[in-house]
Amino acid sequence: MPLITVEMFEGRTVDQKRELVRALTDTFCEVAGGSPAAVQIMIRDVAKSNWGAGGELCSDKFPDKPNTNDTK
């Protein structure tokens, strides 16, 4: 039973998470095979102040960017 763990900045809506779970499940099954019922997804919301990248807290690095654009 595969488990996919997603760690991302907090702030996504339940609808966005629902769509992400569907897309990850569909993609996993297309690529690796298996039943969608067997795929488990765990989403961990992390505050930007609890995530560091490139030697900086993400809350400092991305102070005003909406969560949907953090990596752009």
Active site (annotated) includes residue 2: yes
User: Of residues 2, 36, 63, 66, which has the active-site annotation?
Assistant: 2
The one-letter amino acid code at 50 reads: N
Query: Can you spell out the DSSP letters for the chain?
Result: --EEEEEEES---HHHHHHHHHHHHHHHHHHH-S-GGG-EEEEEEE-GGG-EETTEEHHHHSSS--GGGTT-
* Residues carrying an active site annotation: 2
